[in-house]
Amino acid sequence: MTGSGNKARIGIVVLGCDKNTADAEHFAGRLEERLSKRVTVLAAGTPDDSPPDLDAVIIFTCAFIHDAKTESVEMILAWTTFRTEWGVPGRVYVAGCLSERYRKELEAEIPEVDAFVGIHELDALLARIGGMVSEEAVACDEFTPRKRLTDMPYGFLKIADGCDRKCTFCVIPDIKGPFASLPKETLLADAAALVASGVREINLVAQDTTAYGKDLYAHYGLAELLGDLCALPGDFWIRCLYCYPNGITDALIAQMVAQSKIAPYLDIPLQHVSPPVLKAMGRPEKARDVAALLGRLRREIPGMVLRTTMLVGFPGETEEDHQAMLKFIEEQHFEWLGAFTYSAEEGSPAARMKGHVPGPVARRRREAVMALQAEITEAFNQRREGHEDRVLIEEFDREMGLWKGRSRAEAPEVDGAVYVEADPSLASGIFVRVRMTRADGYDIHARVTP
């Protein structure tokens, strides 16, 4: 072992979605708890920016779209090449969705990797690392407090995994399996541990958070879970991500109105609005029904902020369909919106469809969507100038000389930020009252109120 003394140093690299982050942190927690005297777990990235004396690296990969797969493969090759040239780390393991889907191909193409581990085989990897430091095979409890891999004051609470939907462009159900909620007792313990560790914003994540509980309970869903989470002691926010429109119930809306800990923010990934495209995608939503829902959310929930995701260039998408998307975006004025160019995934029904949109056309359409959204978001931030709000401070940006934070209107890692003028009262992980002073595109500047 290259680590200090007889203690192994394990680096964990996390790629892809925030559900991967939650999985990696739970794995790190189990690893350190079971082998606490022999293992130190560290966050890692590329070989160039990671500790040089790692005994092993575990790469949690993504396989959702082509770009994510490419990023994962490039990271694996970076670490195996580094080990070949420098002799460290001693071992390289690959976990997550890429391993789950392409294990045989990866084993043949990258034999330098010590093991490719599927998403349901993390306990086996835990035991294997235990053997690396002369420990017995390790059994896992149902819940072990996670080890956080960053010091940011926000965390991701994965409330379910898998998916029962049949979107024709998506292979997640093939990789992850059917939708499976986590027991509420486990989630409440996990959330309490996050708050105790310094987390001040809990982001609920799943393939569809609004489907929570349908497979476990007769009368306990997302609304009820939110009520129990809000009852936990401490000063923190809760944010709901990945909410399907048909799962946003009266009970959920009522809970968001009643509970001050719930951010008035919903991430509703719509993908498209054109009826022919939605039908081809296997999406049940209708634009007029979604528009009515969005109007209701804005009327009934004070300060409501909405985010969505659009997929451009889907097979068969016409210029008329594209214009319908632009019109809908302009009418609904989503505060935040992300757009992705369609990627044909092997094994998905959409990959076999006719009428694939040429790459340059799809990219042009995405650019048009994002240009429109940039105007909408900047107008949103301009309307906030002069207003006061509560901000969670995350870190000090040395290059800008400003503190970076977020209000309840911005989700971590995907939305803009609030940049606060330097003030001696500020520190990472605290809430502070600020006055918004100047919009700057997707971001906004502020100063602490007296």
Domains and CATH numbers, the chain: 8-132 (3.40.50.12160), 154-384 (3.80.30.20), 388-448 (2.40.50.140)
pLDDT of residue 135: 44
The closest alpha carbon to 365, from 274, 436, 293, belongs to 274
pLDDT at 425 over 70: yes
**Which whole number is the average pLDDT over 432-445?**
96
pLDDT of residue 30: 86
Rounded Cα distance between 291 and 328, Å, is 9
Q: pLDDT over 90 for what percent of the chain?
A: 70
Task: Indicate the pLDDT class of residue 133, thresholds 50, 70 and 90.
Answer: low
Rounded Cα distance between 141 and 114, Å, is 26
pLDDT of residue 140: 45
Tokens linked to 261: 């800990």
pLDDT of residue 193: 94
**Which whole number is the average pLDDT over 32-41?**
76
pTM for the whole structure: 0.91
Q: Give the lowest-confidence range in 7-21, 134-148, 177-191.
A: 134-148
Residue 158, SS3 per DSSP: strand
Q: What average pLDDT does the structure give for the chain?
A: 91
Q: Which residue in this structure is represented by tokens 């093991």?
A: 115
pLDDT at 151 over 70: yes
CA atoms within 13 A on the CB side of 351: 10
pLDDT of residue 136: 46
Q: Which of 2-6, 148-152, 254-258 has the highest mean pLDDT?
A: 254-258
Give the neighbor-by-neighbor strand order of the sheet with 336-341: 154-158, 201-205, 237-240, 262-267, 305-312, 336-341
pLDDT of residue 139: 46
By the 8 A CB rule, do 435 and 449 touch?
yes
pLDDT of residue 131: 67
pLDDT of residue 5: 53
pLDDT of residue 37: 65
Q: pLDDT digits over 244-296, tens only?
A: 999 999 999 999 999 999 999 999 999 999 999 999 999 988 888 999 999 99
pLDDT of residue 156: 96
Q: Are strands 201-205 and 388-397 parallel, antiparallel or unpaired?
A: unpaired
Q: How many CB atoms lie within 10 A of CB 394?
A: 21
Rounded Cα distance between 163 and 178, Å, is 5
